Amino acid sequence: GLISSLGIYAKINNLGFIETPYRKVENGKVDLNADPIYLNAEDEEAKVIAQANVELSDSGDFETDRIIARLDGDYPVVEPGQVDLIDVAPNQISGISASLIPFLEHDDANRALMGSNMMRQAVPLLRPQAPIVGTGLEKQVATDSRILINAEGTGVVEYVDADKITIKYERSEDEDLVNFESATKSYKLTKFRKTNQSTTITLKPIVRVGDTVAKGQVLCEGYATEKGELALGRNLVVAFMPWKGYNFEDAIVINEKVVREDWFTSIHVDEYSLEVRDTKLGMEELTADIPNVSEEATKDLDENGMIRIGAEVKPGDILIGKITPKGESDPTPEEKLLRAIFGDKAGDVKDASLKADSSLRGVVINKKLFSRNIKDKKKRTEEKLKLEEVENRYKEKFDDLRNTLLEKLNILVSGKTSQGVKNDLDEELIGKGVKFTQKLLSSVEDYVNVSG
């Protein structure tokens, strides 16, 4: 199907129409100091628009007498005085994927389309590399993805490990006074989080203890980024040459090192689930005690039949052990022997376990068992205690914040005269001409709704 992507500078206006930016041109001069204006398709009608790569002087005058422009569906050659608008950038007509292709104007349109679509289909590699030749947008794309963690200001890295980065930010006395959070802030790094496409978000720190960071500096990499730049693949040395007939037509020859050293390996997280139903013959059951299955095959299963976290999974391994009742029929000699050894259980149930398919190899990173919530008196009491605990924690935090606010207000306004303090309902909380004291500030119960 057709997939439409927004142009690189385009935005949606309040009415839902697409707008794109232009600079105004008056009397053959571009106003380079003014902010660009955003126009939709209707506003562009009957306007002569020049290309962004037209040569301009420092003052905004056109350097050439004749300019290739566009007017509705036509491309006339006009004089500078006839131009109404000029594009803000040459890549304004392309989307973000196409804008990441170097020397796009030299490519065949079909190949550029394929390249931009393939970028959208890329999976994050184990060890990605940013491109050697880029367009300059790689850093911006990585920043706008909102996956990476950026420094909030100037500071020093105090602690780093695989899961956490702690930074102490520099603050002035005034900033400390109006801030309710500590100058030291910790950032948790995402590890092996599953995406909707079954790929994984895993972030690694790229700063060290003692490093000084600046505002906006990238603190981590991973999930198709390297040092804060978009990194969708690897930089390979490619030769265009025949090689003993192995690369006939569309075949390629690739170095064994690429596979052996996991250059293009990516980690995927898949979710497998199994339901327990009430059948006509009885209730199904999750268990590690499965008939006709060896002890070796069930060694990694817990009492609920679920495979343990950290277990290595190979094709054919049992992930979740389940037995389901089966109808009585004449037992075979083998079943008679099993009943004699293990009792009746082996005869009236059959194996309905979830097993790893032929292509599945990996490690179990999490498991969850869900059951219907049956409320009894004991559970209600437990829930009530938990709620009380949460409320008490919230009240403690609220009281701490209020005390901090009162301390800061006391430093700022103690001894000064009030100009009148009111709340949102225009009710007077502190009268005009009254001197601020600790007691007066503490008497105001609700600071949330103070308006001035």
Note the pLDDT tens digit of each residue in 331-345.
Answer: 678 777 877 777 655
Interval 350-372: pLDDT, tens: 888 999 999 899 999 999 999 88
Q: For position 444, what pLDDT does the model report?
A: 80
Q: For position 185, what pLDDT does the model report?
A: 93
Please give the share of the chain, as a percent, with pLDDT higher than 70. Answer: 97
- pTM summary value: 0.71
Strand-pairing partners, residue 283, are 278
Interval 427-449: pLDDT, tens: 777 878 788 888 888 888 777 77
Supply the mean pLDDT for the chain.
88
Interval 153-170: pLDDT, tens: 999 999 999 999 999 999
Interval 279-288: pLDDT, tens: 888 888 898 8
Q: For position 452, what pLDDT does the model report?
A: 65
